[in-house]
A = this chain, B = another copy of it.
Amino acid sequence: MNIQLEVVSMEQMSDKKRAIFKSTMELVRENGFHGTPMSMVAKHAGVAAGTIYHYFESKEHLLRELFNYAQQQAVAVVERESTATIPFKECFFKLWTGLYTFYRDNQDLLRFFEQFVNSPYHTTMPPLAEDRFYTLLFAFFERGIQEGELKKVSPKILATLTHSSIISMAKMTASGRLHFDRKELQQIQQLLWDGIALDR
């Protein structure tokens, strides 16, 4: 089963399915997986418990599909930001900002993501190579290396470092522990760039 195949865009989705997704994301954010019974999702989404089972085989399927759906959105951001026909450095900053903004503005999603990724559900997920999100990121950093902009380090490392910096900053903001203004954000990106860029 290729998870990418099940993916449906927001527009094609029925109202109920969308409501179920939305409710699940919100509720899981607040209460976690186990703090979110199907009955709670049903109530919050304004549907009957049984209705959820028309759209999703089981709770696990709901969560997996929601994860795919959420990941798709992140993929869309990467696709949009990483393929601009602009100089690589500029594109790197654009990508960092784009993803950071996406996570910051979709905290339900970020939280759900983090929970899912660290849950046993995720362990049975397809391997990295098939993961479109990372595939795109890898390609992006590969390009940077090819263009002589980045140090000759495994793109996986570069991608992981960059993404983890984005996520951790977005979480920091989300937690309310720290707030960054535009200047600070640029500073952070610059730090990272200084680290990975090839000196010339």
Pair B120/A118 contact, Cβ less than 8 Å? no
A191 at the B interface (CB under 8 A)? yes
Pair B32/A119 contact, Cβ less than 8 Å? yes
Pair B118/A177 contact, Cβ less than 8 Å? no
A68 at the B interface (CB under 8 A)? no
Stretch at the interface among A15-23, A89-97, A161-169: A161-169
A127 at the B interface (CB under 8 A)? yes
What is the bound-complex CA distance between A191 and B115, given in angstroms? 29
- A167 closest partner in B (C-beta): B164
Q: How large is the interface on A (under 10, 10 to 19, 20 to 34, 35 or more residues)?
A: 35 or more
A84 at the B interface (CB under 8 A)? no
- Write out the residue numbers on chain B whose beta carbons fall within 8 Å of the beta carbon of A175: 128
What is the bound-complex CA distance between A33 and B118, given in angstroms? 11
Pair A164/B153 contact, Cβ less than 8 Å? no
Pair B156/A178 contact, Cβ less than 8 Å? yes
What is the bound-complex CA distance between A115 and B32, given in angstroms? 10
What is the bound-complex CA distance between A153 and B187, given in angstroms? 8
- A128 closest partner in B (C-beta): B177
